[in-house]
Amino acid sequence: MKKYRLALVGATGLVGRTVIKVLEEKKLPIEKYCFFSSNKSSGSKINFLGSEYIVKELKEDSFDEGFDYAIFCAGGSVSKKYAKIAVAKGVTVIDNSSIFRMDKNVPLVVPEVNFEDALNNRGIIANPNCSTIQAVVALKPLDDKYKIKRIIYSTYQAVSGAGQKGIEDFERTSKGLSNQKFTYPIYNNCIPHIDDFLDDGYTKEEMKMINETKKILHNKRIKVTATTVRVPVLNSHSESINVEFKNEIDIDEIKKLLSCSPGIILEDDIKNNKYPLASNSSGSDYVYVGRIRRDYTVKNGINMWVVADNIRKGAASNAVQILERLIK
Ligand SMILES: NC(=O)c1ccc[n+]([C@@H]2O[C@H](COP(=O)([O-])OP(=O)(O)OC[C@H]3O[C@@H](n4cnc5c(N)ncnc54)[C@H](OP(=O)(O)O)[C@@H]3O)[C@@H](O)[C@H]2O)c1
């Protein structure tokens, strides 16, 4: 069996450290690993699969060592500068930043939804936004069967979605210290402001959900709107998703369909107060779906509650799952 060589860029960050955890669990046929960070964490040690690795500073010649794949999780500016350098050296890049996601030459991939797109890559494959990934895992089987007309997203996003600094801001403000990452203290607050505002009043995070959903589902005509909100939850994003379909729906059939669709765990037993919770989904690679009920304001509509670990399925695990399928 062929063995591969993998570079991990941003290995010391929240997503990078989780990629390492997921790689340890998966034991892929990889013979060489290299971990990169900025100058700040270079020289630090990572214990991985029984060996000690020294983190190296990412430089323009870092990819000269020879890699088959690289997972980037160091932010947009790093991806913008270094992904193309890696591709020029023959490396296939799986990128966690938003920089290439809407590039028509870059597939935007969630393995349960559109893995085939990854096979048409030109060196870069983009990992979607964390809040988009969990949504489309739940929406894809419904779209296949009932044809989605319109989606309304309302998100409740964990502080870990803003990286290590987001977690630190939650801890600081919960002790009464000043906020450094979010615009307001996140403790005791819901902040309807994720990423920058655009001229029309939407945030970039909201537009990511809108545009990425259409790209992944291969349907520009689906109408999508979104309100994205940061909430004082450490990990796992929760989403209320309202969907209107073209075809006639049946709620029991929808539950049955979702319960046997890839990557989904149906948790919908209101008699026993069972529905998805951020605290229960943390540490899992599944997307949890519940509170499925008819939206009586339209002919064929539903509301559902969708929860997933934003660092694992929303970033690290999705990237490693893409790698795993490419290697297979
Ligand atoms: N958090 C989420 O839920 C989530 C979900 C989906 C996608 N993402 C995306 O994943 C990426 C990483 O997010 P994160 O939450 O893990 O951020 P983070 O905790 O702030 O980690 C950033 C990582 O990037 C490294 N880095 C920074 N500047 C660098 C440079 N010039 N060269 C090389 N490495 C550099 C950092 O190294 P040092 O330790 O040396 O600073 C660190 O390893 C971002 O693009 C983010 O948008 C995050």
Average pLDDT over residues 203-215: 98
User: What is the C-alpha separation between 249 and 94, in angstroms, rounded?
Assistant: 37
| The pLDDT of residue 76 | 96
> What are the chain's domains?
4-127+315-327 (3.40.50.720), 131-310 (3.30.360.10)
Per-residue pLDDT reduced to its tens digit, 119-131? 999 999 999 999 9
Q: Answer whether 60 contacts ligand 1 (Cβ < 6 A).
A: no
Per the annotation, the verdict on 218 as an active-site residue is no
How many angstroms does the Cα of residue 149 sit away from the middle of ligand 1? 35
Q: Which residue has the tokens 């089987």?
A: 141
Per-residue pLDDT, 206: 98
166 has pLDDT over 80: yes
Q: Which residue owns the Cα nearest ligand 1 atom 4? A: 161
Verify whether ligand 1 is closer than 6 Å to residue 37 (CB atom).
yes
pLDDT at 319: 98
Query: Once rounded to an integer, what is the mean pLDDT over residues 186-202?
Result: 98
What is the pLDDT, as a whole number, of residue 328?
85
Is residue 237 part of the annotated active site? The answer reads yes
- What is the model's pLDDT at position 321? 98
- Ligand 1 centre to CA of 290 (Å) is 31
Percent of all residues in the chain with a pLDDT value above 70, rounded to a whole number: 100
Q: What does the pLDDT look like over 83-129, one tens digit per residue? A: 999 999 999 999 999 999 999 999 999 999 999 999 999 999 999 99
pLDDT at 36 over 90: yes
Ligand 1 atom at minimal distance to the Cα of residue 18:
16
Identify the pLDDT of residue 81: 98
Q: Is any atom of ligand 1 closer than 6 Å to the C-beta of 15? A: yes
Confidence category of residue 261, pLDDT binned at 50, 70, 90: very high
Please choose from 8, 9, 14 the residue to mutate so as to test ligand 1's pocket, defined by most ligand atoms within 8 A of CB: 14
pLDDT, average across residues 168-192: 98
Mean pLDDT of 20-37: 97
Buried b (16+ CB within 10 A) or exposed e, 67-86: bbbbbbbbbeebbeebbebb
Compute, in angstroms, the gap from residue 320 CA to the centroid of ligand 1: 16
Q: Is the pLDDT of residue 1 over 80?
A: no
CB of 132 closer than 6 angstroms to any ligand 1 atom:
no
Residue 99 beta carbon below 6 angstroms from any ligand 1 atom: no
Which ligand 1 atom is the nearest neighbour of the CA of 13?
21
Give this prediction's pTM: 0.97
Expressed in angstroms and rounded, the spacing between residue 9 Cα and the centre of ligand 1 is 8
Residue-level pLDDT at 172? 98
Ligand 1 atom at minimal distance to the Cα of residue 74: 24
- Please report, rounded to a whole number, the percentage of residues in the chain having pLDDT higher than 90: 99
Mean pLDDT of the chain: 97
* Ligand 1 nearest atom to the CA of residue 37, by list position: 34
Give me ligand 1 centre to Cα 74, in Å.
3
Residue 77 has pLDDT above 80, yes or no: yes
pLDDT tens digits, 128-149 = 999 999 999 999 999 999 999 9
How many angstroms separate the alpha carbon of residue 195 from the centre of ligand 1? 15
Q: Are 109 and 129 in contact (CB under 8 A)?
A: no
